[in-house]
Amino acid sequence: MSRLKALKTNRLMRVGGFFVGIVLFYAPFAALIRLSAVVFPTSPAASTISDVHSACLRMPIGWLAQPWMWPTMGGNPLSYLPLIVLPLAAVAAGPMFCGWLCPAGALPEHLGRLVPDRFKFDFKSRVDIVPLRYGFFVGFLFAPFISTSICCSFCNFTHMQNFVSGTFGDASGFAVFTSLGVIAAATWIVPLGLFTKGGRGWCMFLCPAGTTMGLASKLTAKWPWAARIRADHHTCTTCGTCSDVCPMRAIDLEPVDPPAEASSELTPDPVAPVVGASALAINHHLCNECLDCVQACPSGALRFGRPQ
């Protein structure tokens, strides 16, 4: 299979994951919420099946900084999804949820392929994404001390629910769009989606769930049983294909320093490249293990698995 066909197949599978995510999370389907209602009949999820907030991936993270919300969080078993289940999954295999299942992240990425790359802005080449991402994350955690919450108005997960509801005949969700929500939704889809290289500008900068998983993934990337995308620097030709197709802009071609000056954030595999050359560096703060790079690599230098 050619690399182009393999890449297209991988992306087609991820489009399939996008629809699976819709069925799992969003009303009118909300399969995960319905399952939770069956298993935990007394939980709030049992009475709010039409409401995506029962399976919210953002609010429980924000509630960590608000002790007065802990009882609410404890009463809904789905609250543990972004706090325990997904971070643990990210420890084991990286933030695959983001790359394969999250509809809110996938929608602008897949739509963005309709826009030629020459009209897109590549944040990676102009800004340092990681500190901005963690800055927004810390702001998100402490915003409730200023406002009630910035969840919902500034949440693409909610906006996605409104789109799904509208698509399936219930446009009432659009009524909850505040002025701020309209601007946030437009920002999510247009400048940070259609006109951002990779289409995942919102994921890169503004998603607290993705940031949590990215942090868990980065901190444990070198654990011996942690599956991540790995590069073999002996096979890699530094052609740049992987960097070009990465939707999260997580792959750089870095000049190779002597070991004492090696970057702690960009972590090439232990199979060390020749000093003085360029080498692939996979930024595990950002990588969502979508595997597009693995499929697109013409030399087979990338793989998904444990460190060697």
Partner 1 sequence: MKGTTTSRTASFLVAAGTVGIAAALNRACPGQCASCSTCATTLVPLASAAGAVGVSFVGSAFVRSRGLPGVRPSAEEPASGLGDL
Binding region for partner 1 (CB under 8 A): 4, 7-8, 11, 113, 115-117, 123-128, 130-136, 138-140, 142-144, 146-150, 153-154, 175, 178-180, 183, 187, 205, 238-241, 243-245, 252-255, 257, 263, 265-266, 278, 296
Closest contact distance (angstroms) between CB of 40 and partner 1 is 31
Which CB atom, from 45 or from 189, has the smaller least distance to partner 1? 189
Closest contact distance (angstroms) between CB of 9 and partner 1 is 12
What spatial distance separates the first Cα and last Cα of the chain, rounded to whole Å? 26
Which CB atom, from 94 or from 144, has the smaller least distance to partner 1? 144
Closest contact distance (angstroms) between CB of 66 and partner 1 is 13
Look at residue 196 and give its three-state secondary structure.
Answer: strand
Q: Which burial class, exposed, middle or buried, applies to 178 when counting CB atoms under 10 A from its CB (0-12, 13-18, 19+)?
A: exposed
CB 70 within 8 A of CB 48: no
CA 143, CA 94: separation in Å to the nearest integer?
27
Closest contact distance (angstroms) between CB of 158 and partner 1 is 13
CA 185, CA 168: separation in Å to the nearest integer?
19
Q: Which burial class, exposed, middle or buried, applies to 258 when counting CB atoms under 10 A from its CB (0-12, 13-18, 19+)?
A: exposed
Closest contact distance (angstroms) between CB of 302 and partner 1 is 13
Taking alpha carbons only, the member of 288, 276, 293 closest to residue 232 is 293
Q: What DSSP line would sit under 74-127, residue for residue? A: HH-GGGHIIIIIHHHHHHHH-SHHHHHT-HHHHHHHHHHTTS-GGG-B-GGGTS
Taking alpha carbons only, the member of 151, 103, 134 closest to residue 212 is 134
Which CB atom, from 30 or from 233, has the smaller least distance to partner 1? 233
Which CB atom, from 29 or from 177, has the smaller least distance to partner 1? 177
Which CB atom, from 101 or from 246, has the smaller least distance to partner 1? 246
Closest contact distance (angstroms) between CB of 113 and partner 1 is 7
Which CB atom, from 252 or from 269, has the smaller least distance to partner 1? 252
Q: Which residues pair with 278 in a beta bridge?
A: 255
Closest contact distance (angstroms) between CB of 306 and partner 1 is 27
Which CB atom, from 79 or from 241, has the smaller least distance to partner 1? 241
CB 58 within 8 A of CB 174: no
Q: Looking at this protein, which amino acid is placed at residue 271?
A: V
Closest contact distance (angstroms) between CB of 272 and partner 1 is 17
Which CB atom, from 4 or from 272, has the smaller least distance to partner 1? 4
Question: Could you tell me where the DSSP H helices lie in the chain?
Answer: 3-25, 31-39, 59-63, 70-75, 80, 86-93, 96-100, 103-112, 129-142, 156-167, 179-189, 201-206, 208-219, 241-245, 292-296
